[in-house]
Amino acid sequence: MTERIVTLTMNPALDISTSVPRVVPEHKLRCDSARSDPGGGGVNISRAIRNLGGSSYAIYPLGGATGEDYRRLASAEGLTGQVVPIAGDTRESFTVAEVSTGREYRFVLPGPHLSEAEWSDCLSATVDHLPHGGLVVASGSLPPGVPEDFYGMLARHAADEDVRLVVDASGPPLVHALAEGVFLIKPSRDEFAQLVGGGHDMTTADQVDAATDLIRAGRADMIALTLGAAGALLISVTGVLRLPTPRVAVTSTVGAGDAFLAGLVLRISQGRPPAEAFRTAVAAGSATATMLGTGLCLPADVARLERSLTA
């Protein structure tokens, strides 16, 4: 295997998106045509990396009829990797855009229960494909049955093989990963506040101080903090970078955070400077927000937005 980036998605979802003129309770809502995409954090990251001209190796469990639909869509998109068979049905997620208001409603199911043998197979598949000197991106929630310290287990294996581990998660799974030490985390503003015990009123200075404390404690080398309309921060031992969110017509926020991380990881894997990688990340996230439903960034849009940004 030659890929320098491996992604792991423990709880993939078949993403279905559609729209209605207005969401009204207790009525049949006649939806527009639906779009289906293979989703879940790591797979979305692999899809976005491919859109940006890069390559990765995606590992994810699939089961049931939904899993077969997912496998077909992933193959059609040209994703390479390894499917870990499971007994349960792969989950679905459902996104509805309300045309009259521009609001977006997202319904996300918990996912199938994984047995110890199944989640162990996912861990073994990832360990078997650790790219020496490369990056592993573990992204998304853990389905029922998977222990909360799963990403911590992966962190220990990555450290033994000189692999930089990137974790995009929240709550206890993220805490366990940080306890082992990782290369990069990408929390949202609310996820970061929960992690460090802060509130919704954390200032930029508060966020930078808390992130710097985690880095000094050896929990992470780099922290990318996404702030929605307020932009993003990239904090590391070399300093702090901040970029605004480009002005775009937002259509859907589904996958924007995954595209952000895809741009960041791809450029890092290519040896680009942090400021350049950060620009690509912000541009990719913003470009994805302009896409319908569960579509991901297009390279021409990313390039155009990159030119408008300075770190």
Angle between helices 150-160 and 171-180 (to 10 degrees): 30
DSSP 188: B
The predicted structure's pLDDT at residue 3:
59
Exposure string over 208-244, b if 16+ CB within 10 A, otherwise e? bebbeebbeeebbebbbbbbeeebbbbbbeeeebbbe
Catalytic residue among 15, 37, 149, 258: 258
Rounded to whole angstroms, how far apart are CA atoms 122 and 86? 10
pLDDT at 1: 42
Domain that includes residue 42, residue range? 5-307
Dihedral sign, Cα of residue 39, residue 246, residue 270, residue 159 = negative
Question: Which backbone phi and psi does 216 adopt, to 5 degrees?
Answer: -65, -30
Q: Does residue 258 have an active-site annotation? A: yes
Q: Give the number of domains in the chain.
A: 1
Residue 203 is which amino acid?
A: T
* Average pLDDT for runs of 10 along the chain of length 311: 83 95 93 93 97 97 98 95 98 94 92 98 97 96 98 97 96 98 97 93 95 98 94 95 92 91 97 96 95 87 91 50
Give the pLDDT confidence score for residue 17 in this predicted structure.
92
Tell me how far CA of residue 73 lies from CA of 39, 222, 242, in angstroms.
10, 33, 36
Give the domain CATH number at 225.
3.40.1190.20
Backbone angles phi, psi at 232, to 5 degrees: -155, 155
